[in-house]
Structure 1
Amino acid sequence: MTAGSDPRGRCAVYLRNGSNSESCLASRLSRYIDLTEAELRFVARMERDSRPLKRRQAIYEIGELTEELHVVKYGWALVYGAPVRGRRPILHIYLPGDVMGMAEIAQTHAVHATVMRTDGMICPFPRAAIADMYAQVPRLGALIMALNSLEHLGLRQRFAAATSLNAEAALIQFLLALKNRLDAAQTQETARFYMPLTQSELGDHLGLTSIYINRLLRRLNDRGVLTLRDKHVQIHDPDAVSETAGLRNDWTNIDQSWFPA
């Protein structure tokens, strides 16, 4: 299987069954299982309708009725919490191939605002399709459930970093985790990756000021740990840095022993 990308996260993937797909979701899923024709058709059904969006265009506002989930076809989106002391915290970052809205599926209205960070495209599909997935292609449903659990593990690691690591280590851990998620979607598989977030947005995500983020990035650059240039981050020794930051890459393997046949 091979993969290519452009900076916005479009996927061009040759699946193990010999077919070609531009679906980042199919790319992400096929990293773990050989997708059957029925599973590929269901993914295509999830991405049948598409909605192009511009940068800063809102997908959901707080309190808005949410009747659909979305596949992120390409582009990045940010989940914002309510403003706190004049700052709007960034709670989560959606990347190409993510299924948007799984965390809110128990609610009828949006708990947080979701806004496009870059130009992109999302594919809305009704919540009822999740029930259809478990009935028609249960292995696919199990895999998406497992991937969603990795998102929760990532939140735990970020919380642990915020409470037990210094700011520099927390920033490194975040950038490494971002790289691991992009690798899992196969939009890239190098130490250098696209990262359109501003220093202010990094601060809003990590609970730091943009001035402090700027200082940390300069320090990491001067020490040769990473390079940030033209909205791309290059981590020069990801394995060594991961060990130093105490980051476990949970995206490399998924326990499939409980998956239906």
Structure 2
Amino acid sequence: MERQSHSAFLARFSRLLDLTASERETLEDLEARPEQRLNYVPVFDAERPDDRIAILRSGWSAVRVRTDPDRITITQIYMAGDVIGLSELGVGTPPHETTMQTDGSVALLSRPQALCPCINASSSL
């Protein structure tokens, strides 16, 4: 009998692939330490570069780019189960911020951990 998970990230993988118990456990470990974020609190801030990516566990988040001193444009929306920062893995620090649009939680991962999930998720970030 397959174990049920409350992870939207794991649910997406499970719909696409038949995961082994070991693969399921590895993916669950990536989300082992979620952090709560309130509405409008940054996940990643353009003013404070961060070399991590995040799995959005719950809530909604948006990439916001300042286009003028008085104007901000939302360029991307993230929902539970999405990986934030994955598209920036090969480039330097992105010139935008990612902000929660609702209360929710994220699991932050170092880039090496994201590229090779075989790294123990319990190691320090």
Smaller-chain TM-score bracket: 0.7 to 0.9
Q: Distance in 2 between the 1:58 and 1:47 partners?
A: 19
- Normalising to structure 1: TM-score of the pair? 0.43
Instruction: Provide the residue aligned with 1:40 in structure 2.
Output: 24
Kindly indicate whether residue 113 of structure 2 is the aligned counterpart of residue 124 of structure 1: no
Aligned equivalent of 1:98 = 82
Query: As a proportion of its length, which structure holds more helix?
Result: 1
- Alignment equivalent of 1:114, drawn from 71, 95, 98: 98
Structure 1 SS opposite 2:102: coil
Give the superposition deviation at 1:63. Answer: 4.2
Tell me how many residue pairs correspond in the alignment.
Answer: 118
Out of 54, 67, 86, the residue aligned to residue 38 of structure 2 is 54
Unaligned runs of 5+ in 1: 1-16, 137-261
Alignment partners' CA distance in 1, 2:30 and 2:54: 8
TM-score, normalized by length of structure 2? 0.85
Q: Give the whole-Å Cα distance in 1 for the aligned partners of 2:78 and 2:87.
A: 12
- Give structure 2 stretches of 5+ with no counterpart: 119-125
1:99 positional shift: 0.8
Which residue is equivalent to 2:121? none
**Hey, what does 1:27 align to over in structure 2?**
11
Deviations 1:43-94 (A, max 9, x none): 1121011100100111122142222111100000010112337321100001
2:62 — aligned with what? 78
Show the counterpart of 1:88: 72
Mapping of residues 178-193 of structure 1, within 5 Å = none
For the 8 Å contact 2:51–2:111, the answer to whether it is kept is yes
Who wins on radius of gyration, i.e. which is larger?
1
SS in structure 1 of the partner of residue 116 of structure 2? helix
Q: Following superposition, which runs of at least 4 residues in structure 1 exceed 6 angstroms of deviation?
A: none
CA RMSD in angstroms, aligned pairs only = 1.7
Q: Which residue of 2 aligns with 1:171?
A: none
Distance 2:34 2:69 in 1: 37
Greater RCO (CA < 8 Å, at least 6 residues apart) = 2
Contact 1:63 1:109 in 2 (8 A): no
State how 1:152-191 maps to structure 2 within 5 Å: none
Equivalent pair of 2:32/2:107 in contact (CA under 8 Å)? yes
Q: Secondary structure at the match of 2:17?
A: coil
Paired residues of 1:57 and 1:115 also in contact (CA < 8 A): yes
